[in-house]
Chain A
Amino acid sequence: MIGLEINNLGVVLSGREIVRGASFTVKPGEIVGLIGPNGAGKSTVIKAILGLVEKASGDVLLSGVGTDEFEAKERARKISYVPQGAPIHWPLTAERTVALGRTPHLNPWQDMRDEDQTAIRKAMKQTDCWHLKDRLVTNLSGGERARVMLARTMAVGAEYMLADEPTASLDPFHQLQVMDIMKAQAKAGVGVLIVMHDLSLALQTCDKLVLMHDGAVLAKGTAAEVLTDENLKTAFGVAVTRWSENGLEYIAPRAAG
Chain B
Amino acid sequence: MKSVSRLQQNMLLIGLSGLLLVAVLASSMFGAVNLSLSQVIEALFGGSDTGVNIIVQELRMPRIILGLMAGATLGYTGAALQGLLRNPLADPGVIGVSSSASFGAVAAIYLGLSAYSAMAIPGMAMMGALVATLILMLLASRDSSVLTLILAGVGISSIATAGISLIMNFAPNPISLQDMIFWMLGSLENRTYDDLMLAGPFIIVGWLMMIGVGQGLNALSLGSEAAHTLGIDLKRLRWRVVLGTTLSVGATVSVCGAIGFIGLVVPHLIRALIGYEPRKLLLPSALAGAVLMTAADILTRLPIGHGQLRLGVVMAVIGAPVFIYIIFKTRESMR
Q: Is the CB of B231 within 8 A of A73?
A: yes
Q: Is the CB of A52 within 8 A of B225?
A: yes
Give Cα A80 to B227, complex, Å.
11
User: B232 an interface residue at 8 Å Cβ cutoff?
Assistant: yes
Q: Is the CB of B228 within 8 A of A92?
A: no
Query: Given contacts A75-B231, A100-B230, A111-B6, is CB(A89)–CB(B223) below 8 Å?
Result: yes
Nearest CB of chain A from residue B251's CB, rounded to whole Å: 24
User: A50 an interface residue at 8 Å Cβ cutoff?
Assistant: yes
Q: Is the CB of A81 within 8 A of B226?
A: yes
Query: Given contacts A92-B277, A138-B335, is CB(A100)–CB(B229) below 8 Å?
Result: no
User: B134 an interface residue at 8 Å Cβ cutoff?
Assistant: no
User: B71 an interface residue at 8 Å Cβ cutoff?
Assistant: no
CB-defined contacts of A88 to chain B, threshold 8 Å? 221-223
Query: Of the 9-residue stretches B23-31, B166-174, B212-220, B315-323, which lies at the interface with chain A?
Result: B212-220
Q: Is the CB of A76 within 8 A of B276?
A: no
User: A189 an interface residue at 8 Å Cβ cutoff?
Assistant: no
Give Cα A40 to B333, complex, Å.
38
Query: Given contacts A95-B3, A108-B215, is CB(A101)–CB(B276) below 8 Å?
Result: no
User: A180 an interface residue at 8 Å Cβ cutoff?
Assistant: no
Query: Given contacts A81-B226, A91-B334, A109-B212, is CB(A104)–CB(B221) below 8 Å?
Result: no
Total inter-chain residue pairs, C-beta < 8 Å: 100
Q: What is the interface of chain B mostly: helix, strand, loop, or mixed?
A: loop
Give Cα A155 to B142, complex, Å.
34
Interface size class of B (residues with CB under 8 A): 20 to 34
CB-defined contacts of B215 to chain A, threshold 8 Å? 103, 106-109
Q: Of A76, A87, A95, A109, which contacts B230 at CB under 8 A?
A: A76
Q: Is the CB of A134 within 8 A of B230?
A: no
List 14 extra interface pairs beyond A79-B229, A90-B276, A111-B6, CB under 8 A.
A50-B225, A83-B222, A86-B226, A89-B221, A91-B276, A91-B334, A92-B221, A92-B275, A101-B230, A103-B219, A106-B215, A108-B213, A109-B215, A134-B3
CB pairs A–B below 8 angstroms (26 shown): A47-B225, A52-B225, A72-B231, A72-B232, A75-B231, A79-B229, A86-B222, A87-B226, A89-B221, A89-B223, A90-B278, A92-B221, A93-B2, A93-B3, A96-B3, A97-B221, A100-B222, A103-B219, A103-B230, A106-B215, A107-B215, A108-B212, A108-B214, A108-B216, A133-B3, A156-B230
Q: Tell me the A127-175 residues at the B interface (CB within 8 Å).
A: 133-134, 136, 138-139, 152, 156
